[in-house]
């Protein structure tokens, strides 16, 4: 039975746990809000499941919880941001805001974020750019050539799950948001399957001998994830591995057994800087309407737009609360206990 808890007490609990582990309150609040919003959008793999991992990283010196991002290089409409190995959510929000400002000023902007820990849901940052009427594009690399994902045809881990995201501003402030891992399934979804004792969807994973497997536990025993879309996803994963990492000048933290980072490149394009005769937002809305009107294929009830599953999850969960697997709730309670954090009674 999952434990269901409303967004507000869950946010407060996570904020208090991060604060009790030495995170300044404003940063703790940003990270907690980002994780819980990700749960609200239905991506439990990148929500509060991560609190335990983040606390472990603080304790191991891999995350510097008080570090704030800073611009280390500017060149016209481009900028490099150094996250100082602080929380990735803080660095990525900062980079997205800078991309938004530079994009509005120059018509195009590219901002990289390096020396960063996990940024969470990439779409949070592209959507921030789109909320200002700009097209937001994001590329993120996982682990510096030591990730979970095998290149197409192989059975050795090379790539991170390397997400990419596109956010197009539509009419009435509606954003068309696409946001996914270039792995067939995000690593966090395997962790979640493990926590729920469920199988991984078929076609997503090979065991260490290169045979198809759906056993989430095997990831601890040398299994590899497969890229989405066969050779095409494999190629995208390779580009995601290189471009953000190198443009961010990212160097992984040198801790034993640790090469994680989430270097990110955010692009902002202003439609106003291009064709004067195109109402970009109206065209986005028109294409959305056309796609929604398509007759469903056999086995489908309707055609969904990118972002629609997340919007529906949000509408549901903001009312009914967020169902957490027992293992995730047990981790949060244990951390609260260890750190002397009270759990609010309204859940």
Among the listed ranges 22-30, 94-102, 174-182, 281-289, the one in contact with ligand NAD (CB under 6 A) is 174-182
**Minimum distance of ligand NAD from residue 266's CB (angstroms):** 13
Binder of ligand NAD out of 103, 163, 227, 271 (CB under 6 A) = 163
| Residue 140 binds ligand NAD (CB under 6 A) | yes
74 vs 290, beta carbon nearer ligand NAD:
290
128 vs 189, beta carbon nearer ligand NAD:
189
**Minimum distance of ligand NAD from residue 337's CB (angstroms):** 28
| Residue 241 binds ligand NAD (CB under 6 A) | no
Strand pairing report for 175-181 and 205-206 = unpaired
| Residue 307 binds ligand NAD (CB under 6 A) | yes
**Minimum distance of ligand NAD from residue 118's CB (angstroms):** 6
**Minimum distance of ligand NAD from residue 111's CB (angstroms):** 17
β-pair partners for 178: 166
Rounded to an integer, what distance in angstroms lies between the CA atom of residue 341 and that of residue 346? 15
16 vs 170, beta carbon nearer ligand NAD:
170
Helices (H) and strands (E) in the chain, counts: 10, 11
Binder of ligand NAD out of 90, 95, 168, 186 (CB under 6 A) = 186
Between the two ends of the chain, the Cα-to-Cα distance in Å is 15
Strand pairing report for 78-82 and 108-114 = parallel
| Residue 180 binds ligand NAD (CB under 6 A) | yes
C-beta of residue 112 within 8 angstroms of C-beta of residue 247: yes
Binder of ligand NAD out of 15, 93, 121, 317 (CB under 6 A) = 121
Closest CA to 83 of 242, 244, 250: 250
> The dihedral of CA 297, 299, 41, 35: what is its sign?
negative
**Minimum distance of ligand NAD from residue 162's CB (angstroms):** 7
Closest CA to 235 of 153, 303, 315: 153
Binder of ligand NAD out of 151, 306, 321, 325 (CB under 6 A) = 306
245 vs 262, beta carbon nearer ligand NAD:
262
Angle in degrees, CA 154, 159, 164, rounded to 5 = 125
| Residue 212 binds ligand NAD (CB under 6 A) | no
DSSP category for residue 295: P
Supply φ then ψ for residue 266, to 5 degrees: -115, 130
Exposed, middle or buried, 347 (CB in 10 Å: 0-12/13-18/19+)? middle
Give the footprint of ligand NAD on this chain (CB under 6 A). Answer: 43, 45-46, 118-123, 140, 142, 161, 163, 178-181, 186, 189, 262, 304, 306-307, 309-310
């Amino acid at each position: 039975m999952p434990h269901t808890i409303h967004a507000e007490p869950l946010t407060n609990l996570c904020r208090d746990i991060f604060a009790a582990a030495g995170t300044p309150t404003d940063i703790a609040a940003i990270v907690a809000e980002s994780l819980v919003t990700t749960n609200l959008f239905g991506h439990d793999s990148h929500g509060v499941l991560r609190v335990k991992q983040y606390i472990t990283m603080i304790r191991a010196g891999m995350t510097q919880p008080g570090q704030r991002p800073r611009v280390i290089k500017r060149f016209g409409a481009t900028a490099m941001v150094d996250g100082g190995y602080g929380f990735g959510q803080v660095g990525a929000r900062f980079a997205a805001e800078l991309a938004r400002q530079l994009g509005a000023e120059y018509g195009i902007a590219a901002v990289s974020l390096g020396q960063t820990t996990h940024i969470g849901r990439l779409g949070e940052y592209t959507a921030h750019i789109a909320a200002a009427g700009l097209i937001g594009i994001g590329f993120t690399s996982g682990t510096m050539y030591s990730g979970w994902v095998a290149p197409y045809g192989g059975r050795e881990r090379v790539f991170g799950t390397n997400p990419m995201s596109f956010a197009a501003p539509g009419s009435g402030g509606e954003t068309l948001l696409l946001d996914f891992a270039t792995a067939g399934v995000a690593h966090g979804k395997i962790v979640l399957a493990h926590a729920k004792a469920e199988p991984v969807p078929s076609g997503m994973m090979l065991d260490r001998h290169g045979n198809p497997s759906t056993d989430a536990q095997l990831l601890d025993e040398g299994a590899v994830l497969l890229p989405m879309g066969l050779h095409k996803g494999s190629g995208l994963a390779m580009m995601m591995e290189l471009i953000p990492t190198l443009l961010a000048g990212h160097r992984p933290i040198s801790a034993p057994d640790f090469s994680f980072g989430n270097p990110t490149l955010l692009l902002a394009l202003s439609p106003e800087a291009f064709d004067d005769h195109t109402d970009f937002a109206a065209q986005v809305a028109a294409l959305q309407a056309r796609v929604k009107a398509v007759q469903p294929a056999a086995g489908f009830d309707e055609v969904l737009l990118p972002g629609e599953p997340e919007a529906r999850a949000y509408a549901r969960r903001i009312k009914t609360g967020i169902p957490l697997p027992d293992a995730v709730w047990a981790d949060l309670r244990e951390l609260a206990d260890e750190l002397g954090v009270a759990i609010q009674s309204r859940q």
